[in-house]
Structure 1
Amino acid sequence: MTDSLTPQHRSWNMSRIRGKNTKPEMTVRRLIHGAGYRYRLHDKRLPGKPDLVFAGRRKVIFVHGCFWHSHSCRVGERAPRQNAEFWAAKRTRTLERDAGQLEQLRQAGWEPLVIWECELKDRDALLERASSFLRG
């Protein structure tokens, strides 16, 4: 099956995909802020520019999209059929970059938590997990 969009239109579609302030990230931010936790956003001084930074606790939270970061859920395991080699390489690079950034943070004394997009379905469990992480 060929792509039904022109290369220019596909490029335009892809340019609209945001890297920060995404809907999953905003959901997590509202949930955690509502629980009384305060944080900074996207600290450029830290590896990976974490989505939420709790400097006093030396903890950071990343909100990852399941597809883009190759999560083990149904969405993350589904690979595109079009241009499969490109997407496999891109997603592999993302996994390697994520692992490196998490390790750099740990070595610098920061404790990271990754929240996956699919975890937003159960907000109570997500809030408990995040609160436990931030308390501990």
Structure 2
Amino acid sequence: MKKTPEQVHYNMSRIRAKDTGIEVKLRKELWSRGIRYRKNVKGITGKPDLAFIGKKIAVFCDSEFWHGYDWENRKNQLKTNREFWVAKIERNMERDTEVNAKLEEEGWKVIRFWGREIEKETERCADEIEKAVKER
């Protein structure tokens, strides 16, 4: 059943920028291990989902749609308002690259996870963060 433009608008308006399910899942795993972090720090380039300020580690939890997972295949599946969505998501992907470069230039270690990685392999993602924290 095809959704009306109003239904699509309503659904899109409900998508949150912080405290998403994948972020909460990863944070709970880290917290249970005694690993403490700051969330959504405005003063850090890109406003990472999790930040270890003293260690200069920035963690981003990227959803597949908004950050262009498998983009070359997925962009062809967009049916409605295609021009807008292609431009928007491609700009998001450019911004991710710019944020990574700026943070690395400032001495930060950047860790990015796709939502599906966090969903299916939460412990492995937390292991990677924990290892980075210990190494720094």
TM-score by length of 2: 0.86
Change (3 A) 1:62 1:84: same
Q: Contact 1:63/1:116 (CA < 8 Å) preserved in 2?
A: yes
* Matched residue SS, 1:57: coil
* Counterpart residue identity of residue 74, structure 2: R
1:40-55 aligned within 5 A: 40-55=38-53
Q: What 5-or-longer segments of structure 1 have no aligned partner? A: none
Higher helix share: 2
Q: Contact 1:71/1:77 (CA < 8 Å) preserved in 2?
A: no
Change (3 A) 1:46 1:101: same
Q: What 5-or-longer segments of structure 2 have no aligned partner? A: none
Q: Percent identity?
A: 34
With a CA cutoff of 8 Å and minimum separation of 6, indicate the structure with the bigger relative contact order.
2
Q: Contact 1:39/1:54 (CA < 8 Å) preserved in 2?
A: yes
Q: Contact 2:103/2:110 (CA < 8 Å) preserved in 1?
A: yes
- String of CA shifts for 1:64-105, please: whole Å, max 9, x gaps: 1011101239xx942322222211111100001111111111
1:1-136 aligned within 5 A: 4-5=3-4, 7-72=5-70, 77-79=73-75, 80-120=78-118, 121-136=120-135
Moved over 6 A (4+): none
RMSD: 2.0
Q: Contact 1:67/1:77 (CA < 8 Å) preserved in 2?
A: no
Structure 1 residue 112: Cα displacement: 1.1
- String of CA shifts for 1:108-132, please: whole Å, max 9, x gaps: 1211100110112022322222222
* Matched residue SS, 1:115: strand
TM-score by length of 1: 0.86
* Matched pairs, number: 132
Structure 1 residue 33: Cα displacement: 1.3
Q: Contact 1:70/1:77 (CA < 8 Å) preserved in 2?
A: no
Counterparts of 1:43 and 1:107, CA distance in 2: 18
Counterparts of 2:52 and 2:124, CA distance in 1: 20
* Counterpart residue identity of residue 94, structure 1: N
